[in-house]
Every structure is written in structure tokens, then in C-alpha cells.
Chain A
Amino acid sequence: MGRKLLLEKDKVEGIRFYDVYRREGGYRSVEKALKTLSPDQVTDEVKKSGLRGRGGAGFPTGMKWSFLAKPEGVPRYLVVNADESEPGTFKDRYLMEFLPHLLIEGMIVSSFAMGSKNSYIYIRGEYAWIVDILEQAIAEAKDNGWLGKNILGSGFDCEIHIQRGAGAYICGEETALLESLEGKRGNPRIKPPFPAIKGLWDCPTVVNNVETIAAIVPIINEGGEEYSKIGMGKSTGTKLISACGNINKPGVFEIDMTISVEEFIYSDEYCGGIAKGKKLKACIPGGSSVPILPANLLLKTAKGDTRLMNYESLSDGGFATGSMMGSGGFIVLDEDQCIVKHTYTLARFYRHESCGQCSPCREGTGWMEKILLRLDNGQGKMSDIDLLWDIQRKIEGNTICPLGDAAAWPVAAAIRHFRDEFEWHVLNPEECLRRNYGLAHYADPRETLVTA
């Protein structure tokens, strides 16, 4: 049984409500921070913890906080990114739905460290019922003196506000999120300036993921040093993984980043194995943007080491033979699933979500979608596969924000590792229409690596 820091109490009855949450030790980190630490000391604890942003990029949180500009007389803002929209990812939803006070508690401590008197939660519009849950938690926290003026007599004032998005994946990108919070289209901004200098309403701003902010609570309670001892290497602490696809037990799991991918998939404590007794074919381990890996490269690295569920191990081998931890959206495909069709749905997703600002992304995502659709329908040509490869290469790195990369990577990885499945679609147009699924033999870990 792995160490649990965030979901330790998620099954306690009534934990969603203040009284139970407090009785179970909630809001201790606010007491500790506001009564015994200075804002800079809180930031130091976060630095010591080694916590990396849980939204997908994995940037060290303490370092991000330390970049925050503090000009005299200018307000600073903490904005929590709850625009969880990366396909395969539903961990923040779980945290907010079942442990809303954990997020509020983490936000108060983080706001104190940054000097943010008005902090915002930007939540995706579709999570409408969670807005009610969070609003109730905020009201309860305020009634009990954890928000408002002069919290715990410390002189620190803080309010938390919720902003609902309206259906746009791009608003998970931090500068698009800020544009949206300002009442505009979610078009990402050109960086620099970074939000830490010029963010919300041109004021210094830190944007952090929900899980990142929740992790501040155990970091302050246990101390940054203790937190950093959990996990391994630069993957400290615990990570929430949302597992889905063809597995027996889809859901949200907290892991301590020392377990193997194999254990995560097959252990009853986590995914419980592949559904319907089928074999594992492939997996996208960190949300739809990160490279898909065939079973053999998923369970072991190219060097033959056991692959572990952490930042370093998942990216071992680079994009040639590895993937990324990303957002922790773990999508499992069984032997009957078609890589071409699956990649098509992801390409369609990115076309739908492109904001349209940069031509490589606006035009490229639509083009890739069209080609993948005709390949999936058995109307593709061999040259389409190279064309797809060419288009994704021309999108990657040529856009203002990472959505272009996010759209390019899944297509690149699918061709890199499953090229003969694409070719099969061209060579067997009738059969791929009739069966509409791919080549099961991929499910058997192969002896030699196939790379494009």
C-alpha cells in the first residue's frame, strides 16, 4: 500500500464538509503557516519539497513562486488552474468534488506565501456542479475565520473567487486562462513577459494546478524536507493518476512514484489488469498529448530496465522510446483497439480545441484530422503516412503555445511505433472498414523495437 498524502481521507464520511474536515486535522497547515512562518519561509518549504507542477509541465513549484515580482503597491494574484481538459485526465475533478477543503486550505497557505489577497479558481465550465461544492466550502471556510480579513490575527487578508470557463481546452494554458479570466477569447499570450511579471490584469500572477496547490498542505504540515523523502530522484511526493481506457478498475489513484508501470496496471490496488481478460496493446501514460507507447516499451525501457511511474523513468529514452508523466492521465488500450482510429479522435480533439491564432496549428490540426479520417476509413494512400509525419513536424515548435506540440506528439508517436498498422489500413481497405480495429499482434511485447 503506497503512501497517501492527498487522498488519505477521501473515503471519510462527510469529509466534503467543514466540520468533518476540520475534525480530521484540516486547516492545520494554515495555522502553522500564518502563526509560525513568514511568507518567504513557506516558499522555502515548497522549494525544499521538490514539488513539481502537477498540471503536466512538471516545472518546480517553489521556483515558479520565487519568480513572482513584488513591486510596491501592485496587487499579486494566485490563480488555480482547474480547467482540467486533457483527455484522460480527471484527477482534479476528484479532488475538488470529494476534498474541496483541501484545495481551499492549500490556496490560503499559498496565497499567504505570495501575498495574494484575492485568489481565483478558474474551473472548466462543464464541472458546473463542482462550482456549487467549492462555493459551499469557501463559505464554510469564511464562516470559520479561515478567509476574510486578518485571518487568525496574522494581519493577512484573503478572499477566494471562482470563475467558470465555457468549454475551451486551450484555457488550461496559463496565459489563455488569464485572457479568459479577463473576459476574452482564450488566445495564449506571447511569453515573455511571463505571468510572474505581467499576468492577470497585468499584475504579477502565479498560475498553479489544483493538485499542486493541494500538495502544499502536506508539505507545510510535514515540512518540505520530509515531503522530499517520499518518491525518488526528482519525482518527490505523491502523484494522482487518473486511469481509464480498457482496464478493470478505472479511477483516480495516489501513487508514491516508486512503483512500476506493470504493477500499476496489473495490481488490484490500482487498475486491476486489462478488462475482459484481454492483452495490453499500448498506453498513453500522461494525458493525450504525450507519446503513446506499445506494451513492450511501456513496461520496460529500451535499455531493458523496469519502467517506473515517475517523471524520469516515463521519459527515459526521450520521444524515440519513451513518453512523459504529463498530467497523469493514464489511457490504456487493449489488443482490439485501433491505433489509427484512436489517433484520429485525438487529432479531431486538437483541431476542435485549437484557438486559431497560429497558422501551423490552425491549419495543421485540421489537415491531420482529415488524413487520419480517410486512413481510418480505408481511403488513405501510403504517401499519407509520410504526409502526416511531415505536417506534425511542421507544427511542433512553431506555435505560440504548447497546443501545437500537444497535437503533433500523439500523431508522431503513433506513426513511430505503429507504422505497420497505418500501412495495414492502406493495404486492407475493405477489412479495416468491416472490422474497424487494428492488429492484435502488437499486444505481444516484441523482441525488436520499431522506430520510424
Chain B
Amino acid sequence: MTFSDDKLKEVERIIARYPAGKHKSALLPVLHLAQQEFGGWLSSDTMDYVASLLKLEPIEVYEVATFYSMYNLKPVGKYLFEVCQTGPCMLNGSDGIIKYIFDKLGIKPGETTTDGLFTLKTVECLGACGYAPMMQMGKTFREYLTEEKVNSIIEECRKNAAANN
């Protein structure tokens, strides 16, 4: 397991943001990069690789990876639906969105569809309270969710997955 040359250069650029000797600061950004490059989650092997790359003890990586909610510690589907359920989203019907995804895909929060395409995760406030209900999908926010909108997102994902196969 290793990053491509391009990604290794990116790691160097990240480390250059900090004063000499403070390369541990690169840990969060490099873990983001590793998760993106190595299948959407952080296996022990991935974390050990990041530790060796940044010259840290593996435990320093594990304790960070387990603290922050954006690092996935087990495999996730190709498309990760992270639905916000905190106060303002609840007021605007997030419970209904979570239930609709269950009805549609048969997955509860924390589960992945058997075809490996979708994982549902409930999350706490993502800072989109005025555009509720919402979910995060990869790098983007999907806002003002309705059942129709969720439906078309699911269709869009299925279409993209089919096109890539």
C-alpha cells in the first residue's frame, strides 16, 4: 500500500504548511487523503501506512482516526448518505427522510445495501440548518430534501454506478 507519486507530492505540500518538525499537524489532512485513495475507509493497514509516512507511532494515528466522525473505520458503500438529524433538520422533517431511505433501500443508519452501493449514516449538525432537511454526499451537500429529491439522487447514483461498470 502506497500513495501515487502525485499524492506523495500532495503530502509534501501539506507538510510544508507547518514549521519544521511540526509534521504531526499533517495527520488530519493526510488521513482525509488516505481515506479518499484507499477505498473510502481507514483500515489498520491504511492507518499504519500513514503512521510510517509521517513518522508517527501507529497509536497516534489510531487515536485521531477514532476521534473524528468523518473517518470511516469500516467499509462503506460507493455512495454514502449522511443525513443530518439534529434540531433544525428534525424540525423540517429529517426523520421522514431517514424513514424514506429505509423504505426505498432497506437500510437503517449504519447499514450498507447488499450490492455495496449505498450506506446510510445519521450525522449531527452539518451547518446547513437553513436549507434543511439535508444530507452530505461525498464533497457536496444535498439540501431542501424531499422524498422526490431523495428518489432522484438514488437514481442518479445508480445511473453513475452503471456507467462506471
Contacts and interface: CB of A to CB of B under 8 A. Distances in A.
A185 B63 contact: yes
Interface string B51-82: 00000000010011001111100000000000
B126 interface: yes
12 contacts: A86-B125, A87-B88, A87-B125, A88-B87, A126-B126, A164-B32, A165-B28, A185-B64, A245-B88, A245-B92, A251-B130, A352-B69
Contact of B87 (A120, A125, A128, A342): A342
Interface string A39-76: 00000000000000000000000000000000000010
Nearest to B123: A167
Nearest to A171: B68
A348 B124 contact: yes
Contacts of A120: 17
A345 interface: yes
Interface stretch (B108-116, B131-139, B145-153, B156-164): B131-139
Given A331-B87, A346-B86, 7 more contacts: A120-B17, A163-B29, A166-B68, A180-B28, A251-B130, A345-B87, A352-B124
Interface of B: 17, 19, 22, 24-29, 31-32, 60, 63-64, 67-71, 85-88, 90-92, 123-132, 136, 139-141
A124 interface: yes
A265 interface: no
Nearest to A284: B87
Nearest to A184: B64
A342 B92 CA distance: 11
Contacts of A184: 24, 27, 60, 63-64
Nearest to B127: A90
A88 B129 contact: yes
A102 B85 CA distance: 32
Interface residues of A, number: 56
B136 A331 contact: no
A168 interface: yes
A93 B127 contact: yes
A183 interface: yes
Interface string A117-153: 0101000111111000000000000000000000000
Given A168-B68, A201-B19, A182 B24 contact: yes
Nearest to A350: B124
Interface string A203-227: 0000000000000000000000000
A353 B24 CA distance: 23
Interface string A329-351: 10101000100011001101100
Given A167-B70, A182-B22, A89 B129 contact: yes
Q: Which of B24, B70, B131 has the most CB of A within 10 A?
A: B70
A201 B91 CA distance: 42
B53 to A, nearest CB: 13
Looking at A87, A90, A127, A284, which has the most chain B CB atoms within 10 Å of its CB? A87
Query: Interface centre among B31, B69, B132, B136, by most A CB within 10 Å?
Result: B69
A75 B19 contact: yes
Interface in A158-185: 161, 163-169, 180-185
A349 B69 CA distance: 13
Contacts of A85: 125, 127
Given A167-B69, A168-B69, A182-B22, A87 B28 contact: no
Contact of A353 (B63, B87, B124): B124
A276 B155 CA distance: 31
A5 B145 CA distance: 32
A333 B86 contact: no
A84 interface: yes
Contacts of A88: 87-88, 125, 129
Contacts of A196: none
Nearest to B19: A201
A344 to B, nearest CB: 9
A87 B70 contact: no
A337 B125 CA distance: 19
